[in-house]
Amino acid sequence: MRKFGQFLFTLIPVLLALAIQVGVVFFFYGISFMLEFGWYAGSSSVTFSEIMTDLYNWESLRDGSYLMVAYAVFCIALFGLWYYIKYDGNYIVSLRTEFRPLLLFGILMLVPGMQYLSTYIVNFTAALFPDWLRAYEELLESAGLDDTLTFFMFCYSVLLAPVCEELIFRGVTMRQAKKCFPFWAANLWQAFLFGAFHMNMMQGVYAFSLGLILGYVCEKSNSIYPPILLHMLFNFWGAVLYRFFAIGDSSFSIIFWFLFGLAMTVGGLAVFRKGCQITSQKRD
């Protein structure tokens, strides 16, 4: 019964994060409404419906990424305290300890490997479920993650979201899940929640795969910082570098980049694990 209670507690972080998202949206839109209503308060010729229409049009033209930045900053503060107080996290990063050369090299190998493999996962899933791909593309466009990437969206997707999501899923959720599951089951569960959290089937599929590797990296390094770095570099590639490393349409290119992605991912995990072993020996 106690383990079942601990399992239910693993749902609290993701539910809390969703509640924060809703709260941030209502807060900022409430402020916008008060400003808009105050602007027209002295005009008797403007109706309430016209004010709401003007507010809707104004918000539609604005870059909504500021909401995501505010959400991420709030979550980093909240889940950072949760992780560091409840799970004995380390506030101060020691570059010599956390990112030894072999460990860092393994992370650098994982970034292109995971990117190419996730591309194949997306393409394979899209072939089976084309509606999922269309919904995913619409989501990226509405969020500002298309060719017109904004500054605030870059800050969110590359810098803030990785810290926020690692604290929620690998820092808090996985640590809590390990109290009632062995690591492999806890890793599967947090990766599933990580995929479901994106609320998009296409994004959820590859987020689940990414979450498994991030969970492994967090467990082997016994630190939240290596998965944060890996997540940042992965998102940077996806937001900025992807256009320079297209797979191509030829059969040779498709096969080559699949094997390249597989080799870099497997090799990166092996190098990273070796780096973690060396780090552990140095600590002892």
Secondary structure (DSSP) of the chain? -HHHHHHHHTTHHHHHHHHHHHHHHHHHHHHHHHHHHHHHTT-TTS-HHHHHHHHHHHHHHS-THHHHHHHHHHHHHHHHHHHHHHS---SS--HHHH--HHHHHHHHHHHHHHHHHHHHHHHHHHHH-HHHHHHHHHHHHHHT-STT--HHHHIIIIIIHHHHHIIIIIIIIHHHHTTTS-HHHHHHHHHHHHHHHT--HHHHHHHHHHHHHHHHHHHHHTSSHHHHHHHHHHHHHHHTGGGGS---SSHHHHHHHHHHHHHHHHHHHHHHHHHHHHHHHHH-
Which pLDDT value is given to residue 46?
54
- For the chain, 284 residues long, give each residue's pLDDT as a single digit of tens: 677 778 888 999 999 999 999 888 778 776 666 665 655 555 555 555 655 555 555 454 445 677 888 899 999 999 999 998 887 666 666 666 667 888 999 999 999 999 999 989 988 888 888 888 787 777 666 555 556 677 888 889 999 999 999 999 999 999 999 988 999 999 999 999 999 998 888 888 989 999 999 999 999 988 899 999 999 999 999 888 777 777 777 888 889 999 999 999 999 999 999 988 877 766 55
Burial of 200 (0-12, 13-18, 19+ CB in 10 A): middle
Q: Is the pTM of the predicted complex or chain greater than 0.85?
A: yes
What is the Cα–Cα distance from 167 to 270, expressed in whole angstroms?
24
| Long-range contact set of residues 206-211: C-beta below 8 Å, sequence gap at least 24 | 206/118, 206/121, 206/122, 206/125, 209/117, 209/118, 209/121, 210/114, 210/118, 210/234, 211/169
What is the Cα–Cα distance from 68 to 136, expressed in whole angstroms?
18
The torsion angles phi and psi of 222, rounded to 5 degrees, stand at: 55, 40
3-state secondary structure of 66: helix
Which pLDDT value is given to residue 60?
46
96 near 168, Cβ under 8 Å? no
Domain ranges of the chain: 2-283
